């Protein structure tokens, strides 16, 4: 199943670690939403959107990518990293506005030094860890298996 994952990863590279683990050894194209503003996604069977959670939502570059590039009716999944808690409401609304079907969501803790967390050396140190990466890969493999 031909898959693309559009992602944004900054600060500590938490989300990049997640998407690179999922892509390794699989037919997955990674698209950095910060560098690539426009890409044809119609040739992909499955499209993932991945980001850290910033102020309770996916990064604006990923939300903009959905608005400007997601073809109608695609199967979509989400990957996220977060310091506090996961939240996919905003991106889910954007995706559903495009008539896409959300087939799954995976999120895990990510090292976070934003704001007051910086004063204490950050939270969720060492995350995502090997278990998180393994679980993300298991989640993705489950999506592929369910799609067959």
**Domain ranges (residues) in the chain:** 3-147
CA angle at residue 103 from 100 to 106, to 5 degrees? 120
State pLDDT tens for residues 48-67.
999 988 888 888 999 999 99
CA angle at residue 118 from 116 to 124, to 5 degrees? 100
Q: What is the pLDDT of residue 70?
A: 95
**pTM for this predicted structure:** 0.90
**Share above pLDDT 70 across residues of the chain, in percent, rounded to a whole number:** 86
Domain 3-147 grouped into CATH 3.10.580.10: no
Q: What is the pLDDT of residue 41?
A: 93
For the stretch 128-133, contacts whose Cβ atoms lie closer than 8 Å and that sit 24 or more positions apart, written own/partner, are 128/14, 128/17, 128/18, 128/81, 132/18, 132/108, 133/17, 133/18, 133/21
State the DSSP string of 57-99.
EE-HHHHHHHHHHPPTT-EEEEEEEESS----HHHHHHHHHTT
Span 142-146, average pLDDT? 92
Span 92-115, average pLDDT? 84
Lowest-confidence region among 8-12, 39-43, 97-101 = 8-12
């Amino acid at each position: 199943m031909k898959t693309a994952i559009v992602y944004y990863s900054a600060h500590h590279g938490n989300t990049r670690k997640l998407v690179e683990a999922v892509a390794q050894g699989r037919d997955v194209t990674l698209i950095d939403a910060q560098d690539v503003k426009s890409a044809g996604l119609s040739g992909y069977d499955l499209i993932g959107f991945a980001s850290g959670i910033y102020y309770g939502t996916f990064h604006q570059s990923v939300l903009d990518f959905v608005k400007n590039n997601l073809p109608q009716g695609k199967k979509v999944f989400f990957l996220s990293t977060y310091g506090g808690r996961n939240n996919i409401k905003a991106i889910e609304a954007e995706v559903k506005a495009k008539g896409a079907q959300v087939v799954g969501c995976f999120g895990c803790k990510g090292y976070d030094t934003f704001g007051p967390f910086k004063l204490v050396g950050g939270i969720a140190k060492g995350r995502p860890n090997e278990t998180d990466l393994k679980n993300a890969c298991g989640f993705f493999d489950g999506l592929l298996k369910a799609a067959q």
